[in-house]
Amino acid sequence: MATDVTTDASSGATPDPAARVTAPGGKKNAPDLGLGRLYLRRFLRNRLAVVGVVIFVLLVLFSAFGSLFTSYAYSDADFAALTQPPSAAHWFGTNQGGNDVYASAVHGLQRSLAIAVSVSVLTVVVAAVIGSSAAYFGGRVEKATLAVIHFLLVVPSFLILALVSHRLAGDWRVLIVVLTVFGWMSTARVIWSVSTSLRERDYVTAAEFMGISAPRIILRHIIPNLGSLLIVNLTLGVVATVLSETALSFLGFGVQTPDVSLGTMLADGAGTITSAPWLFAFPAGLVVLLTVSMTFVGDGLRDALDPTSVTGAAGGRR
């Protein structure tokens, strides 16, 4: 099928390959886009996803540089201003111990983000390696891995998380390890399900024929082809981890004083929600903004990377 491609008569130059071409019926087709640009265009078509990115970036900037706008540290106590409402001296007010709520919110958001992002990354890495390895090796390895995954999925992980983190004094680094240990199973099972089809692909067979080792095949040929799935799970994993950390800290099993997280702030403000609502309102607002923004971003990435979605299909047309 021929296409009508015009050239510049005065210069005789060959037209740009990315330029529009005219089909026999006279209809102009859109230029071919690189895969990255196509994904980006699909993502930007989702307005809620863009809003989510903006909110998340602002939250990260607030956690990183918010302390520059106050003279108080989260551990400082102003005994002359106990449980004071927001004012010029204390923008978000103070708590029962005279701690500045603004400074505590900055540090608490920073701590919650560090936990959420770390756990999400580690969980996806562990799930990708275990899930793809089980699918590739098959046989007894696959059966044993799935048996462990199914067993851990029915274990009351929240209770174990609460007991372990509480016994280890609520160290946030220990909390990262514990949340990772009990958070990879669902993602690993999804990755295993997708990888069972990838192991039959021609490029995997060719790699085996060339004598490439199994770990290299898994890391270089299977896991990279799970990129879109891993990215979406990474994003949505941040939401799940924030909620888990907040719940644990709210119940007193997560981050412990003198450290501060959004969960501990919510726990402190829950008892005074009527008499001192600012103690609960500000950390609750940050939790809502963080979870909503990452949910929007996750939905946008899923639609952008999935060509069968309504948004993804629309993103391929002008």
CATH of the domain at 98: 1.10.3720.10
**Same domain (yes/no): 93, 137:** yes
Q: Which residue has the higher pLDDT, 31 or 149?
A: 149
**Same domain (yes/no): 28, 126:** no
Mean pLDDT of the chain: 82
pLDDT band of residue 156 (cuts 50, 70, 90) is confident
**Same domain (yes/no): 13, 91:** no
**Same domain (yes/no): 13, 89:** no
Contact 257, 264 (CB under 8 A): yes
Q: Is 17 a residue whose pLDDT tops 60? A: no
**Same domain (yes/no): 109, 229:** yes
**Same domain (yes/no): 19, 75:** no
DSSP secondary structure, 56-121, as one string: HHHHHHHHHHGGGG-S--TT-B-TTSTTPPS-SSSTT-B-TT-BBHHHHHHHHHHHHHHHHHHHHH
**Same domain (yes/no): 22, 129:** no
Q: What do you get for the CA distance between the two ends of the chain, in Å? A: 23
Determine the structural domain holding residue 11 and report its residue range. Answer: 1-32
Judged on CB neighbours under 10 Å (0-12, 13-18, 19+), 103 is: buried
pLDDT band of residue 305 (cuts 50, 70, 90) is confident
**Same domain (yes/no): 294, 215:** yes
Radius of gyration of the CA atoms of the chain, in A: 26
**How many other β-carbons are positioned within 10 Å of the β-carbon of residue 3?**
9
**Same domain (yes/no): 21, 152:** no
Domain count, the chain: 2
Residue 308 is predicted with a pLDDT of 55
Distances (CA, A) of 65 to 3, 52, 53, 103, 216: 56, 20, 18, 11, 41
**Same domain (yes/no): 3, 110:** no
pLDDT band of residue 107 (cuts 50, 70, 90) is very high
pTM: 0.78
**How large a percentage of the chain has pLDDT more than 70?**
83
The SS3 call for residue 281 is helix
Q: Is 152 a residue whose pLDDT tops 80? A: yes
Angle made by CA atoms 229, 234, 235, in degrees to the nearest 5: 105
**Same domain (yes/no): 56, 24:** no
